[in-house]
Structure 1
Amino acid sequence: MTGSHGPASGDPVSLGFLGGAASVTGSRFLLTHAGRRLLVDCGLYQGERELRRRNWEPFPVPPAAIDDVVLTHCHLDHCGYLPALVRDGFTGPVWATEGTAALAEIVLKDSGYLNERDAEQAREGGWSRHEVPLPLYTADDAVRAARAFRAVAFDHPVDLGGGTRVTASRAGHVLGSASVLVEIGGTSVLFSGDLGRTAHPVLRPRADPPAARTVVVESTYGDREHPEPIGLPHEVFAAAIRRTVKRGGSVLVPAFAVDRTELVLQALSEMVAAGRIPHVPVYVDSPMALAALEIYRRESQRDELRTDIDPQLARLPLLRAARTPDESKALNNPAMPCIIISASGMGTGGRVVHHLRHMLPDPRNTVVLTGYQAVGTRGRALADGAAEVKIHGRYVPVEAEIVRDEEFSVHADASEILDWLRALPERPEVVYVVHGEEAASRALAARIRAELGYTAVVPTLDERVRLG
């Protein structure tokens, strides 16, 4: 089987949207053919409570009945349910690029640890509705899941057996991120994963897509365009730092540990070198971010990085690492103005939560939001101007300055997604628009129909369609 439009076999191929439909989280897509089941992405639901509750529901098919999992990249909304899947019976391989496998391992272990810690804090604080709060999964579950990773190289087809093969191409979103072409049962399906922008600050650009009869495309920014930078890069961020330091406050940057922290450090390095911001201590307060930074710096990952950047990514004279919980807590009362970069990027978990609790009530401080903030997250509440946010069962007043720097986003906007689809070598039969808030998905589907003339469908959760 070679071409994307080869003859269909006798058994039909079905595609099930088990997650990532009508929401920008929880991506899970199931291909079934002749008794074989292949799951593309195994994401965690994040954001609103109603979405998060889905993580606790039984998986729609028995995990033991799934033969393979393929991951597009390492973010939790694409890989974060994997430990639960393995715990509940999945025993097959998990196919991913080397970068995705390395980063997903630390992401999943950290997620397991945070699940355990949050359950314990809920028990001690008494804010859970359950008498004995339990974690969704544990760090040990994450370790077992990581053992299933099998590395694949970009642009090299991998035969999974049973007439199925998978090819990964660069998506340009984060290190290791891929669009995945699955050839199965005489047909082909291309999953975009999360697409990067036309140009990425650190990574080589995304590849043009291969031909496929069916395309499943993300729509995180499906109803918007990134603003064109005006003046110096990240001047909104630089100006916020200058204002905050002048009034004696500190700057908190909630940032995803993978990729976003690296981009923030790179931007700060350039600002300091150009004299645009004062020299103050910069703390990376996320063990996961520190581990991810080392993966980005590995020699084996250099072929993914742009050749015109410093492979160390950050050269700040006052860069510090807060590795222990005590070092992290000490940053809540710094001796002098500083910049704290801490995960998670939407303020939903991790060490950034206790920094928000201590820093938000002080008007001298600033919180800089550096990317997409999903509905139902603390980051979204802050972006929307909330006067208070709920943290650890208590409402915390928002007196700190809140700033958004839109230039850090490495998600393709609507026009950039259309450009990727326009580059398809052949016209697809159907484009399924997923992984977006409903308005964004529908807006992108409308543009696909109007500008490209493709059939574009926004599937519903748990919908199944026949392919080929």
Structure 2
Amino acid sequence: MKVKVKFLGGAGTVTGSRYLLEIDNYKVLIDCGMFQGLKEYRLRNWEQFPISPSEIDLVLLTHAHIDHTGYLPKLVKSGFKGPIFCTNPTLDLVKILLLDSGKLQEEEAAFAQKKGYSKHEKPEPLYTVEDSEKVFPLLNGVDFEEVQSIIPSFDFTFYNAGHILGAAILKIKVKGENQVKKIVFSGDLGRYHDPILNPPARLPFADILFLESTYGDRISKSKKPEDELGFAIREAYRKGGVAVIPAFAVGRTQLILNYLHSLQQKGKIPNIPIYVDSPMAIDVTNLYKTYGSYHRLKPLLEEEGCNPFTNKNLHYYQSQEASMSLNALRGDAIIISASGMATGGRVMHHLYNRLPNEQDSIIFVGYQAKGTRGRRLLNGEDHVRMYGLNIPVKASISYVEGLSAHADQEELIDWAQGFVSKPKMTFLIHGEDEARKALSQKLNEELGWNSIIPEYLESFELFEGI
């Protein structure tokens, strides 16, 4: 039996995670993400897929974020017809995220045509809402630690990864004629002291390891992110303006709501209104009640006055009209809206209206990939391009460290130490090059591992004759 891997994404970038395993005659795609950030990356979404999607037998998803699932509608549209497996919460989240992604792309294409800032006479979306819906019949949900045998030559199991609701570490057990080998994909690993999610599971063995490296070069200095967030909100309140928090609808928004609820209960920030302006975030938040066993908040959700998602100061805005009405706010309010990297979604019109105002504040609470509007704002640019216009940046821009859903370098090393023996190969994925190099050096120094830094479209033979 021969086993190979080809890196179709997530190599040198934190987006577009796609890893093609070839196990004898079977082709298995691990994650199917959309590229985001730099234009050279985004253009890959429009390129022909490196292999015919109809040749892929199976797709396995580690979690629901768009950089791991957002290409699925295009894959199905291009001929993929096989099953897609993920955890049960991920299945429900994928439906929400893909519908939103298809809608956003339709809207952006229509808006670009209306405003005339696209180089194409008739801009087309990568895929539509209808394309997204065609993915749903292929989705199959399973529980953590439930062994699945779909193809005779291997089985797979999902384990808790933290990070977001339902996020998984994936273990694939390849059964050759003479040997059994274990391939582990870390997925995106969460924090060890997350107030909502349980810490990542520790696995003892991996012959081949694919390890995420988003924060491979960073150690979180902040041990009290709640206090940092409280300080940022108080500063915004002191200025008399509105605080806008760009936050991913899945995971980050719920974490921020939990912290804001706690801060208001303790009197550490004023009892000002909090507006969640993201229909998707509202749908996602409802899933926390459905999947109580997948997180640590269940006791709070059942106690009156303790549920962070029903805070008396909290307002959920669904409609476009309600969203636009927030433009009239002049101070003493918090607006949470997606997307977290300010690359699309409703947060765009809040930034469009708030960035030119000196009294307003923009508070970033998560990783900002290269080339994203969020990264450019944090880098101090005095103008950003939006809707074909240059928007002056006069609002305060800040970043709260420690609120990321990704393990930092120390936590990545800690998780790697859970293996009782060295993997034969460790591939560092889902990270920019600086982060991957720093983590590689650390793994070598502390664990004696020799890791591999793969490039986009590079292939490796993992096993032969097992």
TM-score of the aligned structures, taking structure 1 as reference length = 0.95
Which residue does the alignment assign to 1:365?
360
**1:269/1:315 contact within 8 Å kept:** no
Give matches, 1:324-403, under 5 Å.
324-334=319-329, 336-403=331-398
Give matches, 1:125-274, under 5 Å.
125-186=115-176, 187-229=181-223, 233-274=225-266
**1:72/1:96 contact within 8 Å kept:** yes
Secondary structure of residue in 2 paired with 1:331: helix
CA gap 1:285/1:79 in 2 versus in 1, 3 angstroms: same
**1:47/1:375 contact within 8 Å kept:** yes
Q: Distance in 1 between matches of 2:67 and 2:458?
A: 19
Among 74, 77, 94, the residue aligned to 1:87? 77
CA-atom RMSD, angstroms? 1.3
Secondary structure of residue in 1 paired with 2:16: coil
The superposition leaves residues 279-304 of structure 1 with CA deviations (integer Å, 9 ceiling, x where unpaired) of: 11111000000000001121xx1111
**1:26 has 2:16 as partner:** yes
Give matches, 1:10-49, under 5 Å.
11-49=1-39
Q: Distance in 2 between matches of 1:296 and 1:216?
A: 29
**1:404 has 2:414 as partner:** no
2:98 partner letter: L
Q: How far apart are 1:182 and its partner, in Å?
A: 1.2
The superposition leaves residues 303-328 of structure 1 with CA deviations (integer Å, 9 ceiling, x where unpaired) of: 11116862343342121111111110
Which residue does the alignment assign to 1:106?
96
Q: Distance in 2 between matches of 1:368 and 1:103?
A: 25
**1:272/1:316 contact within 8 Å kept:** no
1:244 partner letter: A
**Mean CA deviation greater in 314-323 or 286-295:** 314-323
Which residue does the alignment assign to 2:304?
none
The runs of 5 or more residues in structure 2 that have no matched partner are 302-306
The superposition leaves residues 20-62 of structure 1 with CA deviations (integer Å, 9 ceiling, x where unpaired) of: 0111110100111221100000010000111100000111110
TM-score of the aligned structures, taking structure 2 as reference length = 0.95
Q: Distance in 2 between matches of 1:380 and 1:307?
A: 31
Q: How far apart are 1:414 and its partner, in Å?
A: 1.0
Q: Distance in 2 between matches of 1:199 and 1:67?
A: 38
Q: Distance in 1 between matches of 2:347 and 2:431?
A: 25
Q: Percent of aligned pairs with the same residue?
A: 41
Q: How far apart are 1:246 and its partner, in Å?
A: 3.4
The runs of 5 or more residues in structure 1 that have no matched partner are 1-10
Q: Distance in 2 between matches of 1:337 and 1:275?
A: 15
Which residue does the alignment assign to 2:455?
460
Which residue does the alignment assign to 1:433?
428
CA gap 1:427/1:246 in 2 versus in 1, 3 angstroms: closer
Q: Distance in 2 between matches of 1:460 and 1:118?
A: 31
Q: Distance in 2 between matches of 1:152 and 1:246?
A: 48
Which residue does the alignment assign to 1:121?
111
Q: Distance in 2 between matches of 1:219 and 1:59?
A: 25
Q: How far apart are 1:385 and its partner, in Å?
A: 1.0
**1:429/1:454 contact within 8 Å kept:** no
**2:189/2:407 contact within 8 Å kept:** yes
Q: Distance in 2 between matches of 1:295 and 1:321?
A: 15
Q: Distance in 2 between matches of 1:131 and 1:79?
A: 29
The superposition leaves residues 255-282 of structure 1 with CA deviations (integer Å, 9 ceiling, x where unpaired) of: 0000100011011101110111111111
Q: How far apart are 1:244 and its partner, in Å?
A: 2.5
